[in-house]
Structure 1
Amino acid sequence: MATRLPSPPRVGMVSLGCPKNLVDSERILTQLRADGYHMSPDYAGADVVLVNTCGFLDSAKEESLEAIGEAIAENGRVIVTGCMGKEADVIRARFPNVLAITGAHEYEQVVEAVHEAAPANLSPYIDLVPDAGLKLTPRHYSYLKISEGCNHRCSFCIIPSLRGDLASRRPDAILREAEKLVAAGTRELLVISQDTSAYGLDLRHAAYPLKGGGEVRAHMTDLARELGRIAPWVRLHYVYPYPHVDQVIPLMAEGLVLPYLDIPFQHAAPNVLRAMKRPANDAKVLARLRGWREICPDIAIRSTFVVGFPGETEADFEYLLEWLDEAQLDRVGAFRFEPVEGASANALPNPVPEEVKEERYARIMVKTAAISAAKLQAKIGRTFDVIIDAVGDEGATGRSYADAPEIDGEVHLRDAGHLAEGDIVRVAIEDADEHDLFGVPLAD
């Protein structure tokens, strides 16, 4: 008699917030897949729905609550996890029928909650998980989380209360994960954490053995070097400009790591930086940017800035605009200050009126768009490697070393219908606008 295979329970997933949350979602789904669950692309086909929430800002919390409400309305069986899990009372006050609530990176508790809500029966015939785990990103790029938490106490941020202090992963474990991802098709590794520069500080930068011999320190520079030997592209995110970051720039000049740094400067005016409890030596930062460009002239720097922080004067904001003129950053994102429950900045005096925040936000976006446009215009006539993200009948869309997925610009290619997603090709740049480049792939 033929063996009748059991029908596995199906899990739906809604993942909100930053790439770090996305990695958490991938880990949860990978474990559930190993435990015999299948994934559902919609609410209707799911036996239970997971909502991985973001709790960084009040607006993000409201988006999370709306997502929970939609999942309950469409399915009814909902488990909540993520950063907003710290506020279980708020969630249950609005949605008393939620099955379970867990906090950020509490993987075991989430999986246990799913087991209880929809028990699975493992089958040796069908329950197989790829070595690299399940991914929520395209096959050719992957986020690689190297640590959790943060030791900073910025006045506008509640991340340490949500995710705790810095907790670095062992470098050998990170490198093993990177090898599996590359073996499964990843061409670009995007290194993420709350503070990539601080990686390994809690491990006292100890050295760990490598499987092929030798050892690697739990240090940003050593880890970046080893990752550059594994993956074609390695991109560093959330890098604070500590002095030892200087050691990474030669790796970029050598081609081991992409010449790209995502540095959350947040502001430039000393008064505002002090109120934010951020490093306030803006002149030294400008000098270091110049030094980095001397070593690696094509290095792309992206950053984010907060406008309308409590106490920010017009003079402070003008100082920021002048600093941006000198810094000449390649990519800039800006945010209007938004109070978030639990942040000490909420108690600061002299809040900035909303209409002033809007006006300053518009001005900084005009300024940074002009800088970006000029930098992109200077690339016309040059050639760059581009990783392909999407291919149509005639053209394709990809990214250069200066473009992280979802947050930066793109490179639009003509005569590129023969390419495939994940290809890395040499491209001649023919045109540019404020954010994107346009070009054609060169013949092999």
Structure 2
Amino acid sequence: MCAAIMATKFPDAPKIGMVSLGCPKNLVDSERILTKLRSDGYQMSADYAGADVVLVNTCGFLDSAKEESLEAIGEAMAENGRVIVTGCMGDEADLIRAKFPQVLAVTGAHQYEQVVNAVHDASPPVPNAFVDLVPEGGLKLTPRHYSYLKISEGCNHRCSFCIIPSIRGDLVSRRIDAVLREAEKLVAAGTRELLVISQDTSAYGVDTRHEARSWKGRDVRAHMTDMARELGQLRTAEGRAPWVRLHYVYPYPHVDQVIPLMADGLLTPYLDIPFQHAAPSVLKAMKRPANEAKVLDRIHKWRSICPDITIRSTFVVGFPGETEADFQYLLDWLDEAQLDRVGAFRFEPVEGAAANALPGAVPDEVKEERYQRIMEKTAAISAAKLSAKVGRVLPVIVDEVGEPDEEDGSIGATARSQADAPEIDGNVFLRDVGEGRKAGDMIDVTIEDADEHDLYGVPV
């Protein structure tokens, strides 16, 4: 009997390759698709050659992102030939099929069932009841120690430069108990940093009128502040509070309520707020809230409550109608706001965006000149803020541990402080971390040096 079982040869499972482009929200979509396919018996392929089907999860936010997506589709077609396209560019199926008529299927953003069905059609699964196919918590495309927690889809804003609502629809919030259950499972599976993401985290639950659900024997509302408070109660297997980082937070009044949670250590003292601009006329043209003066007052208040808070934002330069005076207003506003982390983008017309019809197009050379000026300004602010951290002891999370030095055997590591979100902010480069350190370790370090974007230190 045992020998017969041992001699049984199970059929090979089809293999899936994945190319995931764009923002963390797309990455979460990719993880969900792969988790479902893994549960259906598929294996994952690390290269084109070994894949029976390649999935390309596209980004369509900017024309440059669309070009990158089309290049990725072309590469997958050339290297493999059996390609399914999904994601934000799925709404432009005619364009994709005109350029690549042999693609197997095209589906839209977060259309998980359609993607999985397309894979089933292209390469049917091979049932195998003897194998445990899906790890606890599902498949992840990020390192084990940090995870993205998507709380909603879509957006109710109609910013003139953005086509996300036409791609992903209006706001649809997840149930609060489902969000908290996923977070709990992720932490139990080894996640030590949760990155809360959506198109508009502050609006979470608006569409459900902040419907309450039972969680741990009490009612919890689908509201950003309630969610944040509950996430702050999570603990790792070692009894430590995981870092909980809030992204894409619009500065609605109730955002003020999460700052004390940061001061109390329940949330990572970090807010990612997409301000986009500061000049009132530009904000009006963008169809964004034009309350930049009140925002400055609130930033000062937030820092008085939680001095270590890090505020990150992104800005668009060269928006149609932006004058030199508007741009200088933005630079002066940044001098006052002293934001810790800043990214900037040159305005790009995107097909379907209302901003394309606005008068006063800014020449490319002016966009470039303004981009360089804002990056110079924000780099100087960042350098000063990081320099002030030299000599302090800060907690960090280790992302990668290097190999021992050939000469003296010393080991370095790349880590991040609470002021640094993965992939978009700076790093803390460590020396002499000693043996036995691994990715995900949370340790205290003394900061020894700094530059415009990164810190350098040594474990305490």
TM-score w.r.t. the length of structure 2 is: 0.95
Q: Measure how far apart 1:279 and its partner are.
A: 0.4
Q: Deviations over 1:275-332 (max 9, x none)?
A: 0000001100000000100100110000000000000000000000000000000000
Matched AA of 1:184: A
Matched AA of 2:217: G
* 367-376 vs 176-185, greater mean Cα deviation: 176-185
Which residue matches 1:365? 375
Which residue matches 1:258? 268
1:107-186 equivalences in 2 (<5 Å): 107-186=112-191
Structure 1: where are the runs of 5+ without partners?
none
Which residue matches 1:100? 105
Distance 2:71 2:211 in 1: 44
Matched AA of 2:223: H
Matched AA of 2:231: L
Distance 2:53 2:366 in 1: 45
Which residue matches 2:244? 234
Q: Measure how far apart 1:417 and its partner are.
A: 3.7
CA RMSD of aligned residues (A): 0.7
Distance 1:183 1:201 in 2: 29
1:169-208 equivalences in 2 (<5 Å): 169-208=174-213
Distance 2:72 2:256 in 1: 42
Q: Measure how far apart 1:127 and its partner are.
A: 4.2
Residue 331 of structure 1 pairs with residue 341 of structure 2 = yes
Contact 1:413/1:440 (CA < 8 Å) preserved in 2? yes
Which residue matches 1:223? 227
Matched AA of 2:413: A
Which residue matches 1:62? 67
Which residue matches 2:443? 425
Contact 1:391/1:417 (CA < 8 Å) preserved in 2? no
Residue 410 of structure 1 pairs with residue 427 of structure 2 = yes
Distance 2:38 2:149 in 1: 20
Matched AA of 1:236: L
Q: Helix, strand or coil for the counterpart of 2:282?
A: helix
Which residue matches 2:415? 398
Q: Helix, strand or coil for the counterpart of 2:147?
A: strand
Contact 1:36/1:127 (CA < 8 Å) preserved in 2? no
Which residue matches 1:17? 22
Matched AA of 2:453: H
Q: Deviations over 1:64-91 (max 9, x none)?
A: 0110010010000000000000000000
Matched AA of 1:307: V
Which residue matches 1:349? 359
Residue 280 of structure 1 pairs with residue 293 of structure 2 = no
Task: Give the aligned length.
Answer: 441
Distance 2:331 2:434 in 1: 42
Q: Deviations over 1:99-141 (max 9, x none)?
A: 0000000000000000000001121222421120000000000
Distance 1:385 1:22 in 2: 27
Contact 1:155/1:276 (CA < 8 Å) preserved in 2? yes
1:70-89 equivalences in 2 (<5 Å): 70-89=75-94
Which residue matches 1:381? 391
Which residue matches 1:319? 329
Which residue matches 1:434? 452
Q: Measure how far apart 1:334 and its partner are.
A: 0.3
Q: Deviations over 1:341-382 (max 9, x none)?
A: 000000000100000000000000000000000000000111
Distance 2:133 2:70 in 1: 34
Q: Measure how far apart 1:33 and its partner are.
A: 0.1
Q: Helix, strand or coil for the counterpart of 1:261?
A: strand
Distance 1:86 1:310 in 2: 26
* 158-167 vs 393-402, greater mean Cα deviation: 393-402
TM-score w.r.t. the length of structure 1 is: 0.99
Q: Helix, strand or coil for the counterpart of 1:7?
A: coil
Counterpart pick for 1:50 among 51, 55, 62: 55
Distance 1:253 1:122 in 2: 51
Q: Measure how far apart 1:215 and its partner are.
A: 1.8
Distance 1:203 1:390 in 2: 41
Matched AA of 1:93: A
Distance 2:434 2:277 in 1: 43
Q: Deviations over 1:116-169 (max 9, x none)?
A: 000011212224211200000000000000000000000000000000000000
Contact 1:396/1:417 (CA < 8 Å) preserved in 2? no
Q: Measure how far apart 1:203 and its partner are.
A: 1.1
Counterpart pick for 1:292 among 284, 302, 308: 302
Q: Deviations over 1:146-201 (max 9, x none)?
A: 00000000000000000000000001001111111111110000000000000000
Q: Deviations over 1:197-255 (max 9, x none)?
A: 00000110121001x31121100001011111115110000000000000000000000
Q: Helix, strand or coil for the counterpart of 1:397?
A: strand
Counterpart pick for 2:34 among 16, 20, 29: 29
Q: Helix, strand or coil for the counterpart of 1:69?
A: helix
Q: Helix, strand or coil for the counterpart of 2:90?
A: helix
Q: Deviations over 1:397-428 (max 9, x none)?
A: 11001000000000011111432110000111
Identity of aligned residues (%): 79
Distance 1:214 1:221 in 2: 16
* 226-235 vs 407-416, greater mean Cα deviation: 226-235
Contact 1:139/1:186 (CA < 8 Å) preserved in 2? yes
Distance 2:227 2:132 in 1: 34
